[in-house]
Amino acid sequence: MHIVKSFALAVLMLALAVCTTGTSEAAQWDGGKIRVEGLGIAPADARGTQAEALARRAALSDAYRQLAEQINGVNVDATTTVESMMLMNTTVRTHVTALIKGAQIIDESARRDGSYVVTMEIPVYGSGSLASSVFTRIETRAAWAAPESVYAPYTPVPYDTTGYGTYERTQSQTPSSPILQAAMGATPSAAVTTPAAQTPPAVTTTPTRPAHPAATVAPTMPAAPVVTPAAPTTPPAAMTVTPAAPLTPAAPTASAAPVTPAEIVPTGSAVGGYTGVIIDCTGLGLRPAMSPVIKAENGQPIYGYKNLDVDKVVANGMASYAHSDAEATRAGANPLRLRAVSVDRNANPVLSAGDANRLLLENSASGFLDATNVVFIR
């Protein structure tokens, strides 16, 4: 009999582990709750009410253990879990510990075989949630990146994803995108050196040389008193022709300037009317995180915690994760659909320069990023 009970218990524990693993991710990343079932069995020599009480205590202990394991493994951002945040920050550790202790019992029951089951859950978002323990308030929101900035070289800087400086302490500055690696390997140095080298020589050399000849000719003309009257007429004519020559290079410069905006912003304005954005990351290994960062191809963050109102982040999260457009209800009835070109550190979708530019343009018109109406398909 004891062998049968032991076998049944093993099967139950295996089923519980499978169910918990299969449902926790959806609960964690779609505005739901982390839910676990604790299973307890009374000692063999316990009887009646005492056996049930001891079984319940064991079930509670098992549930708390599972909650701690689930929460510890939650990815806060691309490089940090809740567990590592608790190790780095005593405030987070205190809040999360209190959160686990205050977990809500959803259901509990005694079974015929003498075991006891307790179902407990913790909200991921909302009042008294895991998000309220992980995120802290930022007094001044960062402005959205300029749409055209996604085409310029960008040097990565430490990015705080929670208000506690998580990225600054844990993120290495090695770019993951081949395009970003190329930019970081050559473009930044060229971007700093080239303009500095080109601008001074162009501006300093051109005016200086005409100035010296003019200064040299001026003293020479007064030195010859007889030629002076006839010379004024000729030099003005020469001086009139000289400005015409500089105007010729100026004309190509003026015509080249409009070409760049046309390439950067094909329409020059947003379409408008979008209710959210769906970014397709299927096949790229995207992993759910509480504080993801959308990046442009040059490595520049264009959507992150610092751009958002912390109350909205705590209440709803920064994004939801889905497996199809049908599940992407958070993006609304008319979402902007984009495809990620890669995923940075398995957590941050990376958009092409054109798509990043379009996303920022459309957000400036509709404000769906401010509302955190973001869905990642994976």
Any domain includes 166: no
Phi-psi category of residue 317: left, alpha or beta, with phi > 0 → left and psi -120 to 50 → alpha: left
Q: Which of 262, 278, 293 is the last residue of a domain?
A: 262
- Of 134-148, 227-241, 347-361, highest mean pLDDT: 347-361
Any domain includes 182: no
Higher per-residue pLDDT: 63 or 193: 63
DSSP annotation string for 200-237: HHHHHHHHHHHHHHHHHHHHHHHH-TTHHHHHHHHHHH
Burial 148-157 (b: 16+ CB within 10 A, else e): ebbbebbebe
The pLDDT of residue 127:
87
Any domain includes 162: no
Question: Does 26 lie in the same domain as 99?
Answer: yes
Q: Where are the alpha helices (DSSP H) in the chain?
A: 2-29, 48-72, 82-88, 90-101, 130-134, 166-170, 178-185, 187-223, 227-264, 310-316, 353-366
Cα–Cα distances in angstroms (integers) from residue 356 to residues 16, 79, 148, 288, 359, in the given order: 43, 23, 9, 21, 5
Cα angle for residues 203, 221, 209 (degrees, 5° grid): 15
Quick check: 121 pLDDT over 60? yes
Quick check: 87 pLDDT over 80? yes
Residue (of 340, 336, 337) closest to 365 by Cα position: 336
DSSP 285: T
Q: Which of 262, 294, 315 is the last residue of a domain?
A: 262
Q: How far apart are CA 186 and CA 191, in angstroms?
A: 9
Question: Does 237 lie in the same domain as 277?
Answer: no
Residue 193 confidence class, pLDDT cut points 50, 70, 90: very low
Question: Does 255 lie in the same domain as 345?
Answer: no
Question: Does 253 lie in the same domain as 226?
Answer: yes
Question: Does 119 lie in the same domain as 19?
Answer: yes
Other beta carbons within 10 Å of 13: 12
Section 138-156 average pLDDT: 93
CA torsion sign for 261, 274, 154, 184 is negative
Quick check: 77 pLDDT over 60? yes
The pLDDT of residue 33:
86
Quick check: 177 pLDDT over 80? no
The range of the structural domain enclosing residue 83 comes to: 2-134
Q: How far apart are CA 163 and CA 136, in angstroms?
A: 5
Residue (of 136, 133, 118, 107) closest to 37 by Cα position: 118
Quick check: 217 pLDDT over 70? no
Q: How far apart are CA 299 and CA 352, in angstroms?
A: 10
Residue 148 neighbours by CB under 8 Å, 6+ apart: 261, 264, 265, 357
Residue 320 confidence class, pLDDT cut points 50, 70, 90: very high
Question: Does 199 lie in the same domain as 126?
Answer: no
Any domain includes 77: yes
Any domain includes 336: yes
Question: Does 121 lie in the same domain as 68?
Answer: yes
Any domain includes 167: no
Higher per-residue pLDDT: 208 or 97: 97
Domain count, the chain: 3
Question: Does 89 lie in the same domain as 19?
Answer: yes
Record the tokens describing residue 120, joined without a space.
């407990």
The pLDDT of residue 366:
96
Cα–Cα distances in angstroms (integers) from residue 361 to residues 149, 302, 366, in the given order: 12, 11, 9
Q: Which of 108, 134, 160 is the last residue of a domain?
A: 134
Q: Classify residue 239 as exposed, middle or buried by CB count within 10 Å of its CB (0-12, 13-18, 19+).
A: exposed
- Per the listing, tokens 């993006």 go with 331
3-state secondary structure of 192: helix
Question: Does 254 lie in the same domain as 288?
Answer: no
Any domain includes 34: yes
Cα–Cα distances in angstroms (integers) from residue 30 to residues 53, 140, 327, in the given order: 35, 27, 10
Is the separation of the CB atoms in 303 and 369 below 8 Å? Answer: yes
Cα–Cα distances in angstroms (integers) from residue 52 to residues 56, 211, 251, in the given order: 6, 101, 91
Any domain includes 9: yes
Question: Does 117 lie in the same domain as 20?
Answer: yes
Residue 139 confidence class, pLDDT cut points 50, 70, 90: confident
- Per the listing, tokens 């020559």 go with 245
Section 205-232 average pLDDT: 43
Q: Classify residue 52 as exposed, middle or buried by CB count within 10 Å of its CB (0-12, 13-18, 19+).
A: middle
pTM: 0.67
Question: Does 120 lie in the same domain as 212?
Answer: no
The pLDDT of residue 169:
55
Question: Does 130 lie in the same domain as 10?
Answer: yes
Quick check: 48 pLDDT over 60? yes
